[in-house]
Amino acid sequence: MDNLDLLNPQQKEAVTATEKQILVIAGAGSGKTKVLVSRTAWLIEQQHQDPRQLMAVTFTNKAANEMKERLERSTGIDSRWLWIGTFHSLCVRILRRENLSEGYDHNFTIYDTADQKALIKKCLADMGLASEERLYSPQLVLGRISDAKNRLLSVAEFATDATDQHQRNIAELYRRYQRRLRENNAFDFDDLLTETVWLLQRQPEALAKYQQMFKHILVDEYQDINHCQYRLISLLAGDEGNLFVVGDPDQSIYGWRGADISNILDFVKDYPDCREIQLNRNYRSTSTILTAANSLIANNNNRKPKDLFTEGNQGEPICFVLTEDDREEAFAVIRTVAALLDEGYQYSDCAVLYRTHGQSAAIERACMRFGIPYRVFGGIKFYERKEVKDTIAYLRLLVNPDDGESLQRIYNEPKRGIGKTTWDKLQQIALQRGENVGRLLAVADQFPELSGAAARKLKTLAALLDQLRGFVADTDSVAAIINELWQRTDYKALLDEKDSEKLVERLDILEQLYNTATTFDEDYQQMFVLSEEDWQPPLNVFLNQTALAMDSDGIGEGSDYLTLMTLHAAKGLEYPVIFIVGMEDGVFPHRRAIFSLGDNEMEEERRLCYVGITRARERLFLSAAKRRLTWGTYENNRLSRFISEIPQELLEISGVDKKRIERPVPVDSGGSVFVAGTVPRPTVTTTPTAAQLFMIGDKVRHGSWGDGVVVQVSGNGEDAMISVAFPGVGIKKLLVKYAPIKKI
């Protein structure tokens, strides 16, 4: 086993503790995996515990496999004997062994996301709701069902909570979906957990068997469990079971997907006789980085106080730079990476972290421009995103009507009733006639092989493309062309088929593409000095640049590359050098947290920043932009409040005077204002700001333009204004006082 002499005193205390329930608060980089493995090995070798009577639960297959491999090396035990795995994998083992609900047998199938979507579409068709995708998209419905299951709400309980027709329809879809799963002898991933909980609740003999079997239960990342997972562990452990949980409330960053931080904070209430042990020696970061992280997270109230420390060196100061705009910010990152290479670092030593997926676009463009190999970890590269590829395909068609590959991509995107059968027939006709398929759209009614309805839809597509080509001929603005394209094709309506998190992510990608076009429009004359003979329309040049960018998008397939990722994706990872970009209020912390009425969202944003900072081992670089493109318009943002929560003596600052870094001053309203120096008590106004009424991402309904999504909030009182993206209409600025709008 791992030698106890190699553990620090706190780690050794946790590994050898004899209390029945033990809570280990493991700070970032404190060796929690080593403690879990050593604890398991100690139970087997020193306490002579049967390995088959241990259950260790992790959140990822990677973590489970790491535990198994390290245990095999330290104890020589075949890991196949061990109950070590994710919640889902361990629940499958239980379900395969026990008497299942009526209609199920042990040969059940596990449905993935594609299977789930196909099944829910059948339920929508059965109820006559298939045509109402904006209200009942498969993703939205499945998201609501998943949330119900994570809260252990049965079909009947969920239906009881329904208060309007929309909710009642969702409840009925839940019922039909579960019935079809049962008919197919299938479970979805959420069912694996809920069915196990319900099985243990309705079969006391099975519960007693597993409580007797699992003498010790060990749980990793306890701060990330949801209600269903909490209930499962509580049942298996019982009141007197041996339960060893490891986690860190300061790294709880998944509240948006059901994780409940109260589970770890209330552990001592659930088990009053438990022993709490803190691991606060960090083996990863310099003392400068840890001091910054400790100071930041101390501003949260919902936590267990602890101070990470290290016996390592002080390290370099944290570099903070304020740039003129987001493009200069991206170039500053690349210049710094280049300087680090001269110091002996490699690209793979560095990672750039950002709050939202769309922020990668500026960094990616800078990497492409300077030939920096990179990869997007845990996500899709900007130019590989479906939203980007669809839009580019449309633009190519507007320039080149004979581009059959682009036409094939978008002929039914968004859905316009042109099925694959119709498309295949049209392609066959084109092949037989030796003509380009795009040229046949406008004359589709001349072919008897096509039905009248199919021909009309093809002609409608041809007319749409012709109208857009006419618009292209009348403008030099690529951004305007893209906006017109999205309006006329109703492409933004696709966003409504995603639930909240996915909706915001897709909006973010479209916004970054629009910003890219806006930047191109601004720079076109400066970037290209063209003779009259060399002149090309701006859209052609934009597509040329995009093609080169998409071609270079493949760089970074080797072993040495710069890593780009969201802060959420960075959890559990570490790098010698970390860059965190977009340190502005409204970007990070996210605007939704700023506009939130309670403190929970802001505290989770601060925990996310804490996670980002503690990914760095040696060097940490923070950056912000004085102005940032938002839907083609530059906005001036305040510096992130998180910058002011880091001791200024730890920062090496460029682009802004230290005295001008704004500090939070609390006000009676429960919010805060960000100003320099001493501030008089703010005047209380009875007129709400636009931000108090609406938030970015809110869905609203307009009397004339229908449903839309808020993409910008500005102004106060009589001047309060919001910008709303309406599918098929475009982005409209509305004066809140007079506009016929309401939240939906």
- Catalytic annotation, residues: 32-33, 220-221, 251, 615
Q: From CA 508, how far away is CA 591, in angstroms rounded?
A: 13
Backbone angles phi, psi at 412, to 5 degrees: -130, 35
Q: Check residue 636 and give left, alpha or beta (phi > 0: left; psi -120 to 50: alpha).
A: beta
Q: How far apart are the first and last CA of the chain?
A: 58
Q: From CA 700, how far away is CA 743, in angstroms rounded?
A: 4
Name the 3-class secondary structure at 354: strand
Helix (H) or strand (E) holding 352: strand 350-354
Instruction: Evaluate whether 729 touches 487 at the Cβ level (below 8 Å).
Output: yes
CA distances to 326, 368, 525, 582 from 520, rounded to whole Å, are: 14, 15, 9, 21
User: What residues does 707 pair with on adjacent strands?
Assistant: 701
Q: From CA 454, how far away is CA 417, in angstroms rounded?
A: 8
**HSE (side-chain half, CA atoms, 13 Å) at 669:** 13
Instruction: Evaluate whether 214 touches 238 at the Cβ level (below 8 Å).
Output: no
SS (H, E, C) 539-591: HHHHHHHHHHHHHHCCCCCCCCCEEEEECCCCCCCCEEEEEECCCECECCCEH
Neighbours of 548 (CB within 10 A): 11
Contacts of 528 (CB under 8 A, 6+ apart): 541
Q: From CA 683, how far away is CA 410, in angstroms rounded?
A: 54
Instruction: Evaluate whether 341 touches 347 at the Cβ level (below 8 Å).
Output: yes
CA distances to 6, 201, 228 from 197, rounded to whole Å, are: 39, 6, 8
CA distances to 316, 646, 683 from 649, rounded to whole Å, are: 12, 9, 33
Q: Check residue 730 and give left, alpha or beta (phi > 0: left; psi -120 to 50: alpha).
A: left
